[in-house]
């Protein structure tokens, strides 16, 4: 660990849904200004991890510290106060259908920070420009935008209140490779400009290599490997190797494959 102070610290985080133990004691530290990407297959608990960090799910056990304050047991107003220093880009963008684009981007400014609509609109247009969208886009409805444009608007919304921590949930899922690379570049550029700490989850290795300072792999509820993006190809961990190279054969046996084999 470098001397950079730790922004987010996760200790022994556990979460189960009935008998299904999804997180089994996750430990992670993310330094201030660092970009950590958590990789892992579908159903390994990446989304559960990020939802616990955001307070959308309550962890069963463990500690989540942001700037040394344990937020794992915070609820209601305290948690929302903590949420003010973070931004989130959802996999589906999660734009509000009932509002136009600029109102989506300015949502937190208007409804949480009580800024005037005029000021909020100016800030929203500025954020849209930062992600390469023209001011006219601000007056469109989210349904009128392509998937790539919706991601850009989601990114603009996430950065609109200059957050200290940014979360990205599968930022390139559903995009063509060129648009995915454009989104990755925007993420790198905006995060650098903000100086924010970021935690991303993805199974897109091209995206992980591009936006990560460090990559961690989640498997069966544990972090099984962590290293630099240039180390991921030769991690020495057979599970990481299998995942990174996208091989069906290896120590990771997907549930669907086991079911298929057992039926045969």
Partner 1 sequence: MNVAAATGRLTLDAIGEIGRIANFAARGGTAWFLGPFYWRAFGGALARIGYASLPVVGLTAIFTGAALALNIYEGALFNVEAFLPQILGVSIVRELGPVLAALMVAGRCSSAMAAEIGTMRVTEQIDALSTLSVDPFKYLIAPRILATTLALPLLVLIADIIGVYGGYLVSVYALGFEPTHYVTNLVDFLSVDDVTSGLLKAAVFGFLISVMGCYYGYKSRGGAGGVGSATRTAVVAAAVSVLASNYLMTSLLVEV
Q: Judge whether 196 and 8 are in contact, CB under 8 Å.
A: no
Which of residues 4, 5, 69, 112 is near partner 1 by CB under 8 A? 112
Q: Judge whether 219 and 252 are in contact, CB under 8 Å.
A: yes
Rounded to whole angstroms, how far apart are CA atoms 205 and 259?
27
Per CB under 8 A, the segment of 103-111, 130-138, 195-203, 228-236 that binds partner 1 is 103-111
CB of 257 to partner 1, least distance (A): 25
Per CB under 8 A, the segment of 33-41, 53-61, 185-193, 220-228 that binds partner 1 is 53-61
H or E segment to which residue 128 belongs? helix 117-130
Rounded to whole angstroms, how far apart are CA atoms 70 and 178?
40
**Binding of partner 1 by 83 (CB under 8 A):** yes
CB of 170 to partner 1, least distance (A): 11
Per CB under 8 A, the segment of 59-67, 92-100, 178-186, 249-257 that binds partner 1 is 92-100
**Binding of partner 1 by 121 (CB under 8 A):** no
CB of 142 to partner 1, least distance (A): 10
176 CB burial (10 A radius; 0-12, 13-18, 19+): exposed
Output 141 or 224, the one with its CB closest to partner 1.
141
Q: Judge whether 137 and 126 are in contact, CB under 8 Å.
A: no
Residue with tokens 């500690």: 63
Which residues of this protein are in contact with partner 1, per CB under 8 A?
Answer: 51, 54-56, 76, 80-81, 83-84, 86-88, 90-92, 94-98, 107-108, 111-112, 114, 157, 167
């Amino acid at each position: 660990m470098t001397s950079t102070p730790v922004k987010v610290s996760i200790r022994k985080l556990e979460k189960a849904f009935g008998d299904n133990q999804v997180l089994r004691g996750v430990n992670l530290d993310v330094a201030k200004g660092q970009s950590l990407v958590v990789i892992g297959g579908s159903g390994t608990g990446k989304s559960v991890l990020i939802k616990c960090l955001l307070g959308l799910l309550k962890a069963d056990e463990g500690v989540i510290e942001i700037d040394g304050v344990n937020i794992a047991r915070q609820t209601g107003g305290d948690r929302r106060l903590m949420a003010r220093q973070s931004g989130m880009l959802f996999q589906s963008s999660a734009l509000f259908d009932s509002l136009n684009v600029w109102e989506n981007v300015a949502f937190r400014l208007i409804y949480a920070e009580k800024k005037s609509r005029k000021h909020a609109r100016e800030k929203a247009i500025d954020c849209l420009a930062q992600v390469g969208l023209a001011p006219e886009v601000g007056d469109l409805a989210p349904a009128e935008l392509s998937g790539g444009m919706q991601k850009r608007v989601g990114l603009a919304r996430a950065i609109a209140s200059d957050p200290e921590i940014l979360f990205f949930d599968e930022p390139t899922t559903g995009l063509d490779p060129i648009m995915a690379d454009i989104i990755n570049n925007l993420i790198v550029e905006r995060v650098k400009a903000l100086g924010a700490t970021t935690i991303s989850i993805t199974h897109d290795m091209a995206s992980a290599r591009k936006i990560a300072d460090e990559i961690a792999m989640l498997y069966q509820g544990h972090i099984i490997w962590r290293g630099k993006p240039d180390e991921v190809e030769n991690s020495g961990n057979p599970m990481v190797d299998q995942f990174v190279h996208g091989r069906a054969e290896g120590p990771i046996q997907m549930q669907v494959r086991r079911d298929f084999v057992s039926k045969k």
